[in-house]
Amino acid sequence: MIDSVRFRFALSALLLTACAQPSQENAAPKRSPDPLSSPANGDATATARALATAIPSDDADIQTAARDVKALAQKPESWVTLGQAWVKRARRTGDPGYYLNADACATVALALAPEFRGALDLRLLVFLNGHRFGEARDLARQVLARAPDDALAHGALSDALLEIGDVSGAEAAIQRMLDIKPDLPAYSRVSYMRWLSGDIEGAKLAIAQAYDAGRGAKDPEPATWTLVQAALIFWHAGDAEGALAGLEIAERSLPDYPPALALRGRALLSLGRAPEAVASLRRSLERAPLSDTAWHLSQALAAANDAPGATAAFERAITLGRQIDRLTLAQILASQARSPAEVAEAVRAARQEASQRGGPYIDDALAFALFRTGTTEALAEARTLIDRAIAVGLPDARVIAHAGLIRAATGDVTGARALLERATTLKTTLERKLLDEIGGALGGLK
């Protein structure tokens, strides 16, 4: 499925790249002699400097930015440029840990020049990545109060509001982005909003506009990312071949790109090409150790008759989920329902996420985890949550299937049958266990 959080973090990071060169309006304000000499912030700033300049040996962009920082250590612009290089690394590798390095750059820049807009924009990304959506919303509004045309702040505001559940506010922020600069980040957000509402053709059109806006840029990654998002739209519509066609273009644009490798593996698996799927998912996992990639690798290994490998990959997915991705952890544990203890853990993880953000995927994860408990009270809550999740028109077969199973469990035979039959028309996107459950549920409906 489309991971809504990663999708929107990537959008914000794309926008940061687009705004990489500070304009005159974004120039550093006049500052006091040297804030770094203050004992009050000296230790924190020194720690931030160390993290910001922990330069990897395999990243030319960060190395170049670090050399500039060394030469221009008192200029906040140089620290923001280094932070932007860290964001690019986070995007290329799929490792959100690098946002901490970016935030360290923001800390140093803000020590040099409090309220420097480029540094605040960097911090917005960190807040979003850390699921600090209320703080991201407030900081975005703070920035926009002084700079109403800051496109990145409008993007971050839309992301934060959508996570909090203010869809109309998010849409207004996206429209303002389009008014300011109709570019790849703005069109990408339009595509995602249209997809969420079930407007598939509108989503395809907007992602094509995003790709056209970003194609030919010096950095191929943003445009390649939009190709993967386009492939995701085809994938969710049940067109695995169409998704693979888009991913072939992405591979030529940026070889071994982890998001493209991961989706390619899922598409190949759905077409019965398990060995190829294993190879693609393994390459993705090596480059970006994400919980959902390990989960799909376990399914591919099982299809390739490698039971020990499938078990190892599944356990790695659980470990990664516990470390960095509670939403995927809840989805995995609920999907398998191997024990009451794991179902209880799925409920806890989903509730923890729900305490920080909202939206259909959070509702779905918590609803399905509650459904797995089987209690009357839990089923009633699950029904409320899943009805809200599908009300927006979300065209995700897994969420639709979950809704059908929950409807069946709560006695809504007509509603269950309609949803389960709809999910089976998109069966290429569903794992084997869920397909078996759908078949069993349909067979039991009277």
Q: What is the pLDDT of residues 337-382, one digit of tens each?
A: 999 999 999 999 999 999 888 889 999 999 999 999 999 999 999 9
pLDDT of residue 359: 87
N- to C-terminal Cα distance for the chain?
30
Query: Of the candidates 91, 93, 33, 85, which has an alpha carbon nearest to the alpha carbon of residue 62?
Result: 85
pLDDT of residue 247: 96
More confident residue, 18 or 145: 145
Backbone angles phi, psi at 38, to 5 degrees: -70, 125
Structure tokens at 248: 């072939």
Domain assignment present for residue 200? The answer is no
C-alpha 56/C-alpha 95 separation (Å) is: 14
Q: Give the H or E element holding residue 16.
A: helix 4-18
Domain assignment present for residue 298? The answer is no
Decide if 158 contacts 189 (C-beta within 8 A): yes
DSSP state of 118: H
Q: What is the mean pLDDT of the chain?
A: 88
**Single residue among 136, 156, 181 that ends a domain in this structure:** 181
Condensed to tens digits (0 to 9), the pLDDT of residues 244-299 reads: 999 999 999 999 999 999 999 999 999 999 999 999 999 999 988 999 999 999 99
Q: Could you give the percent of the chain with pLDDT greater than 70?
A: 91
Domain assignment present for residue 189? The answer is no
Q: 4 falls in which pLDDT band (50, 70, 90)?
A: very low
Residue 10 sits at the vertex; the CA angle it makes with 8 and 15, to the nearest 5 degrees, is 95
C-alpha 391/C-alpha 320 separation (Å) is: 31
Question: Is the pLDDT confidence value at 8 over 50?
Answer: no
C-alpha 277/C-alpha 157 separation (Å) is: 37
Domain assignment present for residue 186? The answer is no
- Which residues, 6 or more positions from 153, have their beta carbon under 8 angstroms from its beta carbon? 120, 121, 124, 140, 143, 144, 147
C-alpha 97/C-alpha 100 separation (Å) is: 6
Question: Is the pLDDT confidence value at 28 over 80?
Answer: no
Domain assignment present for residue 350? The answer is yes
C-alpha 223/C-alpha 262 separation (Å) is: 17
Query: Of the candidates 210, 280, 212, which has an alpha carbon nearest to the alpha carbon of residue 244?
Result: 280
pLDDT of residue 423: 93
Structure tokens at 347: 């409920």
**Single residue among 157, 181, 205 that ends a domain in this structure:** 181
More confident residue, 198 or 31: 198
CA atoms within 13 A on the CB side of 20: 16
Q: Where are the alpha helices (DSSP H) in 130-239?
A: 133-146, 151-164, 167-180, 184-196, 200-214, 221-236
Domain assignment present for residue 307? The answer is no
Total tally of structural domains belonging to the chain: 2
**Single residue among 134, 151, 181 that ends a domain in this structure:** 181
Domain assignment present for residue 376? The answer is yes
Q: Tokens 């989903």, residue? A: 350
pLDDT of residue 14: 52
- Computed from CA positions of residues 91, 365, 349, 310, in that sequence, does the dihedral angle turn out positive or negative? negative
CATH of the domain at 156: 1.25.40.10
Structure tokens at 112: 């040099």
Structure tokens at 423: 């999910």
Q: Which domain holds residue 432?
A: 325-444
The greatest distance separating any two alpha carbons of the chain, rounded to the nearest whole angstrom, comes to 79
Condensed to tens digits (0 to 9), the pLDDT of residues 216-248 reads: 888 898 999 999 999 999 999 989 999 999 999
C-alpha 8/C-alpha 121 separation (Å) is: 15
Domain assignment present for residue 12? The answer is yes
